Amino acid sequence: MIPEFADDNADAHPLWLVRDELPEVLDAPARKWAASSGFSGKAGQICVLPDGAGGIAGALIGCGRDVARDRFALAKAASVLPEAAWRVADWPEGTDPAETALGWLLSQYAFDRYRKCHGAKARLVAPEGVDAARLLAMAEAEFLTRDLINTPANDMGPDALEQAARDLAARHGFAVHVVSGEALIEQNFPLIHAVGRAATQAPRLIELTRGDTGPSLTLVGKGVCFDTGGLDIKPPASMGLMKKDMGGAATVLGLAHMLVATGAAEGMRLRVLIPAVENAISAGAFRPGDILTSRKGLTVEVNNTDAEGRLVLADAMAYAAEDKPDWMITMATLTGAARVALGPDIPPFYCDDDGAAAAIQAAGMAHWDPVWRMPFWEPYESMIEPGIADLDNAPSGGMAGSVTAALFLRRFAEGARRYAHFDIYGWQPKPAPGRTKGGVQQGARALLAALPGLLK
């Protein structure tokens, strides 16, 4: 599925965005039709105007006064309007043409792998002055991420996730290197091997590289293709969405696509690392109480096999840090604590660089991809130190779960000049304009906007 704008030369119907007063260009019959339809300009209202000859003269979309309350609010029209080309006739103060256009593109998404379905059929002519190619790259990246997350684990195990990475690599000129199965032990990725060794598909570390000059950016995405919880098995209610536990991997692949497709990756060394595993249960599963030695040499006491994401990330991060990248960024569906703190819409992120953190958060708000900074709170470091080993993968007590997970990961980022961690949810719990229920990309647009400036 490829997002698209309407042909600029199409005979497009006009759209008027309305707050309080109807556009002056409307004639008396159109005004009467709007009034009899109960249209008042309230946010979310849509009124299709007839032309008197059985056709469409245009449409009114209610903006309301609080346009900042809902992301992509005007994109609701894309799913309601008849299949045709549409053009916004005017832009009231406070409305953003780029946001509207992107939301319209995102409304075209439908996950149709297992049944026939479609997204919005109404097509928008790209508003004048917006970077249409950039918006299309953003939407295509989002579609890629959503497809990967929405695909169930029987069709999106480590093998398929590797193939998705290879497909992206072939399209954009990345070199590919994969370490799999027992070779993980031989090449010193013991935590990735321990977490994935019980599954039918071999665990692996997928590596994509592109560019050999300029500042270096390494993206590390958690690729747990399904998480049973391991021997600390999840209850059914918690296991139902675990196909999305590779949402970090899906997101960094989408971000890599955007960086290349928009030209932002030119002049940089871009590296993507995905530890791809299934946290399964068999005689070979790792156990509560096991003490594992990481690639970095730090020992980890496994106090919960359901806290496996930070284990596979740790080995990948230690490997990444050996090259001392200018930026290392991890993205992972890591903790329920992050959802308790901020809900499903706003992923927390952690970064020690105040200026960079401010730039990332501002970019997220400006590009309709909100993220919220949380602290690497050093007084909590003792919570991840169990005494019997260097680190504890699941501190007891349940307090500050997202913070302690971030502190755990930071131990393996040493060597990178700057580091940021995103604890994403990767899922839209209920439909919203531009966002169908299901997999969703989070944090990637914020990083696309912020990273070029941060890598200078």
User: Looking at the annotation, which residues are catalytic?
Assistant: 234, 310
Q: How far apart are CA 223 and CA 246, in angstroms?
A: 4
Q: How far apart are CA 259 and CA 448, in angstroms?
A: 7
Cα-Cα end-to-end distance for the chain? 35
- 54: phi then psi, degrees, rounded to nearest 5: 85, 5
CB 333 within 8 A of CB 339: no
Task: Let me know: does 84 contact 14? Beta carbons within 8 Å.
Answer: no
If one counts every other C-beta atom within 10 angstroms of the C-beta of residue 73, the result is: 24
Place of tokens 């090449």: 187
Best CA proximity match to 127, nearest among 8, 44, 288, 39: 8
Residue 155 tokens, joined: 């069709």
3-state per-residue secondary structure call for 306-343: CCCHHHHHHHHHHHHHCCCCCEEEEEECCCHHHHHHHC
The angle that helices 132-150 and 97-106 make with each other, rounded to 10 degrees, is 40
Kindly tell me the burial class for residue 165, based on how many C-beta atoms sit within 10 Å of its own C-beta (0-12, 13-18, 19 or more): buried
Distances (CA, A) of 421 to 29, 142, 402, 410: 56, 20, 10, 8
Q: Is 215 within 8 Å of 326 (Cβ atoms)?
A: yes
